[in-house]
Chain A
Amino acid sequence: GAVVSQHPSWVICKSGTSVKIECRSLDFQATTMFWYRQFPKQSLMLMATSNEGSKATYEQGVEKDKFLINHASLTLSTLTVTSAHPEDSSFYICSAPTGFKIDEQFFGPGTRLTVL
């Protein structure tokens, strides 16, 4: 299957700092990428849809100014958690449809964010 990478795999930061998470499609181009958040032992919650060359679409209840998304190229989307607080600690996962089979999505390995 297609490969989606994320960096970093884990990060620990102090409260009030900002953290950037990268999502890359390694062997295909992705005009759209999705960002999910997953709390321990819970399901994936869609946060936003990242669109190459245009603004991201955020799900209801997700703060746009808190979670900044940039999709500057066809292989890279970034999620920046601004002024992070302990409640932002979570597992963040991105995914991308390959376009070959319109429905298939491949997920990155996730980034574990811990805010102290």
Chain B
Amino acid sequence: GENVEQHPSTLSVQEGDSAVIKCTYSDSASNYFPWYKQELGKGPQLIIDIRSNVGEKKDQRIAVTLNKTAKHFSLHITETQPEDSAVYFCAARVQTGANNLFFGTGTRLTVIP
């Protein structure tokens, strides 16, 4: 099955700086890669996603890049704000499988005011 690895597990940045979280996946059949933000005691919230036919996608301060050859994708948050502090999960979905997602282990991002 698919195996998704995520790094780093924790990340602290100063407010205004950029944050980068990286994920790798094992199954070349994966074709959909969402990123979720989870605040304490809440369910994950979809913040951005990318499909395998695209190399980069941007939404305001958030961007995701995908390298299919290397089987890795990254989340980039620019001009970080304290409210960006949360746990971020990457995920991958295998094209030929059911619509279930395989999650990374999560990154706890802390933005220091």
User: Which residues of chain A have C-beta atoms less than 8 A from B62's C-beta?
Assistant: none
Cross-interface CB contact of B49 among A103, A107, A109, cutoff 8 Å: A103
User: Which residues of chain A have C-beta atoms less than 8 A from B93's C-beta?
Assistant: 103
Cβ of B43 within 8 Å of any chain A Cβ, yes or no, is yes
Given contacts A103-B51, A104-B34, contact A43 B106 (CB under 8 A): yes
> What separation, in Å, do the CA atoms of A95 and B103 have in the docked complex?
13
In the complex, the answer to whether B89 meets A103 with C-beta atoms within 8 Å is no
Query: What mask results when residues 22 to 66 of chain B are scored 1 for a CB within 8 Å of chain A, else 0?
Result: 000000000010101000011111100101000000000000000
User: Which residues of chain A have C-beta atoms less than 8 A from B36's C-beta?
Assistant: 107
* Residues B2-21 near A (CB distance < 8 A): none
Query: What mask results when residues 82 to 116 of chain A are scored 1 for a CB within 8 Å of chain B, else 0?
Result: 00000000000101010000111111111010000
User: Which residues of chain B have C-beta atoms less than 8 A from A93's C-beta?
Assistant: 43-44
User: Which residues of chain A have C-beta atoms less than 8 A from B99's C-beta?
Assistant: 32, 97, 102-103, 105
Range class of the B interface residue count: 20 to 34
In the complex, the answer to whether B43 meets A109 with C-beta atoms within 8 Å is yes
User: Which residues of chain A have C-beta atoms less than 8 A from B32's C-beta?
Assistant: 103
* Residues B77-113 near A (CB distance < 8 A): 89, 93, 98-101, 103-106
Interface of A is mostly: strand
- Name the distance in Å between A5's Cβ and chain B's nearest Cβ: 10
In the complex, the answer to whether A107 meets B100 with C-beta atoms within 8 Å is no
Q: Closest chain A residue to B32 by CB distance? A: A103
Cross-interface CB contact of B103 among A32, A44, A104, cutoff 8 Å: A44
Cβ of A67 within 8 Å of any chain B Cβ, yes or no, is no
In the complex, the answer to whether A106 meets B106 with C-beta atoms within 8 Å is no
In the complex, the answer to whether B44 meets A44 with C-beta atoms within 8 Å is yes
Q: Closest chain B residue to A1 by CB distance? A: B46
In the complex, the answer to whether A34 meets B46 with C-beta atoms within 8 Å is no
Closest 3 pairs between A and B when the two form their complex, measured CB to CB: A107-B43, A103-B32, A110-B43
Interface of B toward A, CB cutoff 8 Å: 32, 34, 36, 41-46, 49, 51, 89, 93, 98-101, 103-106
Known A43-B89, A46-B101; 12 more pairs at CB < 8 Å: A34-B100, A42-B106, A43-B104, A49-B100, A93-B44, A95-B43, A103-B49, A105-B34, A106-B46, A107-B44, A107-B46, A112-B41
